[in-house]
Structure 1
């Protein structure tokens, strides 16, 4: 399953789908994020220049963490900073609830030895500023912070309150825009 960041970028910027093939991903990332510098890309990924050249040529395919990093970088490379900011400003003008996020099995910390919230699926209507923050996100951590903030808002409306974004556990694979 594609990473959370890539799914969010694909949903918010549907005309800017990242390439699926690792060779195309590698060449796009090198050109768009590293100005064509194989050396800079290799340094950022913690591999040799030859490895990056092989990814681009297709004689070697990234594996494990390198494949995940390349996939996320390729998704990020499809949207320019200017395009991301333009979409964010547009989302700030839209009414609350225009962007809805579904979080499967969201849970939180224990309260007095028992779970404060039993894991369950939650539908979140994002505030315009949260939706804009999703559009401005540049990596998985940014997206998870926005989802955590929305979860805190959701639970702070209940009987307990006082929750913060970092208080929640959720599986990034169980988060989707709906």
Structure 2
């Protein structure tokens, strides 16, 4: 079970990196994550309210005087990674407009293939194809809302339309690039 969860997380990370062209902010230290959140939200007080902790607690985490406990560390990571406002801050307006208006050339590496007659025909491969602005808008909107699974479903649907029905990326993507 752990291997499958890690593969899904790796695929979500590949999607994050592919769309934003930036590393996932939840991979940083608590101080780095709080700094990024303050940059987007404007104040320590707003960060504290979003996380459901006191402002003083967030200040201590930011200064490195203490570390968040497991539950709060998870809340902080999930917030900086999945909050729509945080995601929009990771994506430049120019990149967003370009993808929305022109679509994108997509390059994917990893396990993929088709499902037919109840059997999965997958292998490790690399593909590159052009996706329409409509398809990219659907993928990007879902991603911006923090819905990685929905964005991946939209990407699989677009790839299925491009190749053959039932074509899909597996849970173990090694890399995903939106080249435009």
Q: TM-score range by the shorter chain?
A: 0.5 to 0.7
* CA deviation after TM superposition for structure 1 residue 52, in Å: 1.8
1:76 aligned onto 2:87: yes
Aligned counterpart for 2:43 among listed residues 19, 26, 36: 36
Q: Secondary structure at the match of 1:101?
A: strand
Q: Which runs of 4+ in 1 moved over 6 A?
A: none
Normalising to structure 2: TM-score of the pair?
A: 0.58
| Unmatched tracts of structure 2, length 5 or more | 1-9
1:149 aligned onto 2:154: yes
Larger strand proportion of the pair: 2
Report how many residues are paired: 160
* CA deviation after TM superposition for structure 1 residue 151, in Å: 2.0
How big is the alpha-carbon RMSD for the aligned residues of Structure 1 and Structure 2?
A: 4.1
When residues 31 and 91 of structure 1 are mapped into structure 2, their CA distance, relative to the original with a 3 A threshold, is closer
Confirm or deny: 8 A CA contact 1:88 1:133 kept in the other structure. no
Normalising to structure 1: TM-score of the pair?
A: 0.59
| Unmatched tracts of structure 1, length 5 or more | none
1:7 aligned onto 2:13: no
